[in-house]
């Protein structure tokens, strides 16, 4: 195994992993937990006692009006909820809760009843508020994750673990990791663990322990069929959300009636004079890159949205390792469409995220790009090419028959502003490569917050990463070659 680096789990230093897989000396000392941090269970009890005493004092000093008791009851319920979730106590949260109780007392003396009641309720809510989301992975962690992705087999969404906005939990031996993000007190794992198959369960177990210690809820977005069963064994329920579209490179062949539509699309592009080129993402010629940025800008789509099955950093100066850009040119050698692909398993796994095309591009350019990437993969040792994920394909295979399927079909079209699911399915169906199902995993009692976190991760603008996108810079401000 090559030397890789990762941030230490307890400190700010970087741990080196040598060729034998053993942990080497850390670049910085690991700080010891002191005080209440060394006793998280005690800190929860002490924090709850402090706020509970404040709430009791608020009750004793009131005239026991119904609205006073309701406010204290709501605050106590919020406090009990935090204890039930085993949330750690943070000094800033306890200080804020105590401050709110002081505000409530002052407001009562001044006769501002609404401020008093609101402060009492907020004190209970804030006292055991969920810890803030962690920072995205460090540069050292990201280098290690790339090494793990590059050894992950048979997982077409493994490369998307490299998004700049994800954090990581590693297995104790450092040979596998879970990529995740946190929002609304929900920690959402992205797909399956990456890395050595024998170490992946340990990484998932480390993720569960971290989530429980932080008092977050847990969800998994985009897990595969095998891992869905593993998560069920840990108390989560699965909801199928679609299927991978995976082309077996060595068996791919356009002959036969089934591939007639795909053959015709590829032929139309050739008749229109379309040609293609496939570049490493850091070797796209500058004049081509400026045209590709113009295509993205004209689409008015957010190039950095997504979470589990889309990579960020499109056309940035420092692209993710192992990414490829397939470009379609018209007969005048002008770029009219492009697809980005990411790799795993030392290039044997090649995965697409979203296609981009110029308005008025010749018919068949998307099919042509996918076809030519499969041919390129066959020549360069690729074994599987994964196209865009097919969400809810069963909705579009036949006309909806029941009220539930009609409602689901209607709902899918409400997402057309973000991604046109039905037209994407019609495109993917031409390849006859629907693969295994993927699932959302969650606890049913937590469906509302978990679903809200997942939807915002997929469709809302991502938080700003350390690497600002240069996508909207003028064409002459890009990198030069």
- Here the tokens at position 212 are 């429980």
| pLDDT of res. 189 | 97
| pLDDT of res. 16 | 41
pLDDT in tens, 18-28: 433 344 333 33
Buried-exposed string 148-162: b where 16+ CB fall within 10 A, e elsewhere: bbbbbebbbbbbbbb
**243-439+458-477: CATH architecture:** 3-Layer(aba) Sandwich (3.40)
Q: What pTM, to 2 d.p., does this model score? A: 0.78
CA distance 481 to 473: 17
CA distance 175 to 200: 8
115-120's contacts with Cβ under 8 Å and 24+ in sequence apart are 116/71, 117/67, 117/68, 117/71, 118/71, 120/55, 120/58, 120/71, 120/72, 120/75
Beta bridge mates, 186: 183, 217
On the CB side of 361, CA atoms within 13 Å amount to 28
- Here the tokens at position 394 are 């069963």
| pLDDT of res. 476 | 35
Of 163, 146, 149, residue with least CA distance to 344:
149
Cα separation values, 481 from 283, 285, 289, 314, 336, Å: 8, 7, 11, 18, 21
- Which pairing describes strands 237-248 and 275-280: parallel, antiparallel, or unpaired? unpaired
CA distance 435 to 397: 15
| pLDDT of res. 127 | 81
Low-confidence ranges of the chain (pLDDT < 50): 1-39, 60, 63-64, 462-481
Enumerate the domain spans of the chain: 36-127, 243-439+458-477
Given the structure tokens 């006073």, which residue do they identify?
68
- Which pairing describes strands 217-224 and 186-190: parallel, antiparallel, or unpaired? parallel
| pLDDT of res. 439 | 95
| pLDDT of res. 126 | 85
3-state DSSP: the chain helix, strand, coil percent, rounded to 5?
Answer: 45, 20, 35
CA distance 404 to 398: 14
Beta bridge mates, 335: 329
The answer to whether residues 326 and 341 touch, using CB atoms and an 8 Å cutoff, is yes
- Burial degree of 400 (CB within 10 A; 0-12, 13-18, 19+): middle
| pLDDT of res. 17 | 41
């Amino acid at each position: 195994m090559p030397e890789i680096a990762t941030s230490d789990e307890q400190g700010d230093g970087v741990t080196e992993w040598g060729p034998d897989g053993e942990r080497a000396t850390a670049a910085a000392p690991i700080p010891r937990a002191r005080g209440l941090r060394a006793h998280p269970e005690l800190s929860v009890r002490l924090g709850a006692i402090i706020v509970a005493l404040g709430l009791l004092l608020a009750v004793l000093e009131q005239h026991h009006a119904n609205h006073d008791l309701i406010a204290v009851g709501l605050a106590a319920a919020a406090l009990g909820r935090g204890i039930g979730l085993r949330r750690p106590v943070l000094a800033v949260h306890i200080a804020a809760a105590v401050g709110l109780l002081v505000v409530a007392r002052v407001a009562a003396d001044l006769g501002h009843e609404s401020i008093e009641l609101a402060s009492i309720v907020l004190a209970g809510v804030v006292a055991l508020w969920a810890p803030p989301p962690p920072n995205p992975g460090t540069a050292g962690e990201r280098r290690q994750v790339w090494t793990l992705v590059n050894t992950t087999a048979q997982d077409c969404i493994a490369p998307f673990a490299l998004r700049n906005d994800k954090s990581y939990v590693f297995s104790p031996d450092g040979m596998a990791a879970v990529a995740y993000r946190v929002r609304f007190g929900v920690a959402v794992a992205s797909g399956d663990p990456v890395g050595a198959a024998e170490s992946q369960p340990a990484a998932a177990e480390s993720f569960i322990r971290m989530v429980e210690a932080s008092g977050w809820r847990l969800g998994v977005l985009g897990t595969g069929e095998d891992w869905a069963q593993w998560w069920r064994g840990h108390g989560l329920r699965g909801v199928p959300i679609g299927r991978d579209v995976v082309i077996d490179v060595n068996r791919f062949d356009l002959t036969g009636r089934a591939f007639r539509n795909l053959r015709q699309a590829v032929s139309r592009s050739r008749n229109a004079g379309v040609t293609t080129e496939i570049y490493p993402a850091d070797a796209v010629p500058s004049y081509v890159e400026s045209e590709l940025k113009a295509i993205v800008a004209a689409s008015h789509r957010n190039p950095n949205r997504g979470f589990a099955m889309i990579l960020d950093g499109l056309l940035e100066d420092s692209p993710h390792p192992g990414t490829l850009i397939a470009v379609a040119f018209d007969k005048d050698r002008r770029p009219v469409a492009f697809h980005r692909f990411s790799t795993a398993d030392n290039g044997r796994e090649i995965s697409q995220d979203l296609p981009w095309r110029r308005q008025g591009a010749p018919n068949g350019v998307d099919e042509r790009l996918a076809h030519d990437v499969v041919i390129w993969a066959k020549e360069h040792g690729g074994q599987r090419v994964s196209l865009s994920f097919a969400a809810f394909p069963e909705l579009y295979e036949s006309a909806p028959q029941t009220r539930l399927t009609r409602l689901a079909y209607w709902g899918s079209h409400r997402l057309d502003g973000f991604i046109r699911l039905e037209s994407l399915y019609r495109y993917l169906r031409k390849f006859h490569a629907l693969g295994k199902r993927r699932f959302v995993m969650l606890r049913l009692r937590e469906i509302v917050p978990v679903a809200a976190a997942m939807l915002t991760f997929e469709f809302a603008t991502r938080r700003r990463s350390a690497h600002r996108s240069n996508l909207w810079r003028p064409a002459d401000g890009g990198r030069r070659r």
